[in-house]
Structure 1
Amino acid sequence: MYSSKFKYFCTLLILVLIFSTITNAQRNFLRGTWSGKLNLGATELRVVFNITREKGKFKATMDSPDQGAKDIPVDEIIIEGKNATFKVNIAKAMFVGEFNDDNTQITGKWIQGSNTIPLTLTKTEKKIVLKRPQEPKPPYPYLVEDVTFRNNKDNIKFAGTLTLPKGNGPFRTAILITGSGPQNRDEELLGHKPFWIIADYLTRNGVAVLRYDDRGTGKSEGDFPKATSLDFAVDAMAAVEYLKTRKEIDVNKIGLIGHSEGGLIAPIVATKNNSVAYIVLLAGTGLPGSEIITLQSELISRANGETEENIKLGKDFNIKVFNEINSSTDDVDLKEKLDKMFNDFYDGLSEKEQKKLGSKETFTAKEINLLSPWFRYFLKYDPRPTLEKVKCPVLAINGSKDLQVPSKENLREIENALKKGGNKNYQIIELSELNHLFQTAVTGLPMEYSKITETFSHTALKTIIDWIKSEVK
């Protein structure tokens, strides 16, 4: 569950290329690599502009190394005296800044829609290369197959990858279910591909794995923005039914591994489809969405050094907003009430506090995300009644430094719900020092995710495979 600013930035960094000429005096200092960091609150994203000169014209591309995005075309470069503007028109975004005296730094801001974020670009000779030592490299000791399957209920075709151990089947199998936000089959974010790491590890250890692009993402069809967790559960059920058609798969040993929101979806599928032999919840939720987000915001703010007074201020505001959303039955009336609540809250802050939040337009723009079908469903959804109905074996693991789905509170509620429902075949494990992505972390803050070279802890991987081998024989 990642910040709305970050999702917005991820969604809108896109294409098209136009060239712009610049005066002779500016050629040498502009050409080269310029890099900086966007502070998005809970996380940071590095931004790199690569400027070259070809046939008398300047050409620019942009990289977002932490997202694994390269060569994003820049639409236009404008230099007027000491002022610089780099435009990405289709993204409705631009960088506007001013050169320092020796032309080695441009201080300015990234503007995208109603969001304005400070950004300073520094000229550098170094290429930013992400170290991801766990990423598998061919040749693989297993079979890799691109596959498609269909959600017949919603008439959506999904694209994914099935990895099969070599040797005689049929095999135990795991279906990987991504966390919130549009994710590809590798659950790729911030330069990491955790689902690729998990699939590789499990398949090397005798478990077939199906991972797939979310609806409306990658090569899968469908409309992601209109979907809720219930829709994603139907998608996962379609994946189960597909595997039952494959001769290499043991139809009695198909399980689900869900990360974050995927850990909310897996129990829904398990209660609706008796073919699910087991589920693994990676940082799965045990609390209602409104409580998760409130607690998440509180913990991240505290880890960022925010004062207790401001933490309480934000917590009280969140609770007030969430209560309004959960009780509303009229969308127009809700929009009007949220408009007033956001404006009143911002106006009541000191100038210093307002500066930390950005412009009023930037702050109030967050409101639109709260009105999406997904958010409204997630906010109200309580996973505990569903967990009480789960009868198959369950492994629930979380990291002690997870600030997004805090381990103690959520693992406790998951265990209580399973006990209440009479499920005796479960294991609850808190893994020390791991964050929400199951990386070995220092603080657990999302801004660390991209900086950590580890993608997915070997301890967590071994915990998963050992449990599957013991429970699914």
Structure 2
Amino acid sequence: MKRIALLGLAVMTVAMSYAQRISGTWKGMLNAGNQKLEIVFHFDPSKDGGGAATMDVPAQSAMGIPVRLNLLSADSVSLDVLALLMEYTGKLNNGVITGTFRQFGVAFPLELKAGDAGKPNRPQEPESPLGYKTEEVTFTNQKAHVSLAGTLTYPVNYTPDKKVPVVIMVTGSGAQNRDEEVFAHKPFRVIADYLAKQGIASLRYDDRGVGQSTGNQAGCTSADFAEDAACGLSWLKSSGKFNQVGILGHSEGGLIAFMLGAEGKADFLVSMAGPGIKGDSLLVEQQNALFKLKGIPSNVSVSTLRKSMATQPGNVWLEYFMDYDPRPDLERITIPVMAVNGSNDMQVLSDSNISAIRNCLSGKNSKNLIKVYPGLNHLFQHCEPASSMDYYKIEETCSPEVLRDIAAWINSL
């Protein structure tokens, strides 16, 4: 869930200044104790006469962060972010900016060198020629005055006279594109590719205000995003091309799948790490698990969490998420459900969430498949518990056994 902080070190907005000798891309590896973060700056000294810059933190899936320039000479740089109590000072010598990064009173060395950031290896990402047909499409949520743009992927050897199953894919929390691109991975593109090779069509779309979709996410909740997905389901059904129309959701998308499944809007649903417990309880489990992962004692409770959130009013999405309990919706679902999770998921913990889902769906449908995969994290990557949050560093995008099980289950319906 992208809305929840994944790393203790936050690097957001940077203030800098411009010098003639520093332009283009500069990068460095910040070694901050038990974590390493690649920091990338892009300098454009010619823009607007005074220069401009952006910053990337690839491991946090933070790209193109606006940077304000303050002071930059021919051989020195000084920058700070008051809101984050962060500053950096450095000196350019022999092609290297040698400097010190400080945050919350702790100092770390940080060297910057000119050059583009390396592209991470993603062996599962499909390459052309794909071997199947794709089509750029749009559907509309008329109530919200939003147009959603996406990619409809047809199976290998698809012909119009043959009806096939289709899934609409719903992303996790945060503004994401149709590939659910996060940490330089494109999970939905990988899943769509695999399903196409197994005779299953799919529709993946850009979230509101992302890519080619209109609107924005200000003031929106999971219920609003569920309406978008419901409009996509209706569009697929009205096309007349498919024999079964299902929904596949990841994380918050899994929660949305449960919402729509309870309303009978889909023929089947696949939840990948979808929450099965109330939002405030889920966030408490998540925080305690993340602290434990870092070796920090923690006993966050719902009460302390809500007191903390009360000091930060106005986050409509978070308030809705904390109050929403999926169990009443789960108990209303009668269509086939595949609900999966990984044992090393530190964001939607498998023990409590899968147990709640299993209890709510017990005896509802003989085709239900509820499963926990050993050694997989929130993105369904193989990992050790200690590296469960290293999404960017892990080359695998999605476990092959999960892909196989999803396709086999849909084809068995």
Shorter-chain TM band: 0.7 to 0.9
SS in 2 for 1:412: helix
Unmatched 5+ residue regions in structure 2? none
SS in 1 for 2:238: coil
Give the whole-Å Cα distance in 2 for the aligned partners of 1:462 and 1:60: 44
From 348, 353, 374, give the equivalent of 1:432: 374
Unmatched 5+ residue regions in structure 1? 326-334, 340-366
1:320 has 2:304 as partner: yes
Which residue of structure 1 lines up, in the alignment, with residue 236 of structure 2? 243
Distance 1:117 1:149, change over 3 A: farther
**1:111-135: per-residue Cα shift (whole Å, max 9, x none)?**
xxxx999764313477422111111
Give the whole-Å Cα distance in 2 for the aligned partners of 1:71 and 1:202: 32
From 90, 110, 121, give the equivalent of 2:110: 121
Residue 204 of structure 1: how far off its partner (Å): 1.5
Which residue of structure 2 lines up, in the alignment, with residue 222 of structure 1? 215
Distance 1:400 1:94, change over 3 A: closer
For the 8 Å contact 1:270–1:279, the answer to whether it is kept is: yes
Give the whole-Å Cα distance in 2 for the aligned partners of 1:53 and 1:234: 44
For the 8 Å contact 2:26–2:40, the answer to whether it is kept is: yes
Give the whole-Å Cα distance in 2 for the aligned partners of 1:95 and 1:79: 14
Alignment of 1:5-404 (within 5 A): 5=5, 20-22=18-20, 27=21, 33-37=26-30, 45-49=37-41, 62-66=55-59, 76=69, 78-79=71-72, 84-85=77-78, 96-99=88-91, 104-109=97-102, 120-124=109-113, 127-165=117-155, 166-168=157-159, 169-250=162-243, 253-274=244-265, 276-306=266-296, 308=297, 311-312=298-299, 315-316=300-301, 319-322=303-306, 338-339=310-311, 367=312, 371-404=314-347
Amino acid at match of 1:248: K
For the 8 Å contact 1:34–1:49, the answer to whether it is kept is: yes
Give the whole-Å Cα distance in 1 for the aligned partners of 2:108 and 2:203: 40
For the 8 Å contact 1:163–1:199, the answer to whether it is kept is: yes
Give the whole-Å Cα distance in 1 for the aligned partners of 2:127 and 2:343: 30
**1:419-461: per-residue Cα shift (whole Å, max 9, x none)?**
17x3333111111110000001122656411110111111110
Give the whole-Å Cα distance in 2 for the aligned partners of 1:439 and 1:279: 21
**1:188-240: per-residue Cα shift (whole Å, max 9, x none)?**
11111101111111012111100111112222122313111111111111001
Residue 37 of structure 1: how far off its partner (Å): 3.7
From 387, 407, 410, give the equivalent of 1:465: 407
**1:290-346: per-residue Cα shift (whole Å, max 9, x none)?**
11110111111111111x3xx02xx04x53342x59xxxxxxxxx9xx44xxxxxxx
Calculate the TM-score normalised by the size of structure 1: 0.75
Give the whole-Å Cα distance in 1 for the aligned partners of 2:190 and 2:107: 34
For the 8 Å contact 1:38–1:117, the answer to whether it is kept is: no
Give the whole-Å Cα distance in 1 for the aligned partners of 2:107 and 2:320: 33
Give the whole-Å Cα distance in 1 for the aligned partners of 2:105 and 2:247: 40
Give the whole-Å Cα distance in 1 for the aligned partners of 2:406 and 2:368: 13
For the 8 Å contact 1:303–1:445, the answer to whether it is kept is: no
Give the whole-Å Cα distance in 2 for the aligned partners of 1:145 and 1:227: 28
Give the whole-Å Cα distance in 2 for the aligned partners of 1:10 and 1:438: 25
Amino acid at match of 1:257: L
Residue 374 of structure 1: how far off its partner (Å): 1.1
Residue 60 of structure 1: how far off its partner (Å): 5.9
SS in 1 for 2:397: coil
Residue 20 of structure 1: how far off its partner (Å): 3.2
Amino acid at match of 1:319: S
SS in 2 for 1:405: coil
RMSD: 3.9
For the 8 Å contact 2:13–2:67, the answer to whether it is kept is: no
Amino acid at match of 2:145: N
Give the whole-Å Cα distance in 1 for the aligned partners of 2:226 and 2:11: 23
Give the whole-Å Cα distance in 2 for the aligned partners of 1:164 and 1:257: 16
Distance 1:69 1:416, change over 3 A: closer
Residue 52 of structure 1: how far off its partner (Å): 8.6
Amino acid at match of 1:270: G
Aligned residues: 406
Calculate the TM-score normalised by the size of structure 2: 0.85
For the 8 Å contact 1:158–1:220, the answer to whether it is kept is: yes
Which residue of structure 2 lines up, in the alignment, with residue 361 of structure 1? none
Give the whole-Å Cα distance in 2 for the aligned partners of 1:40 and 1:280: 39
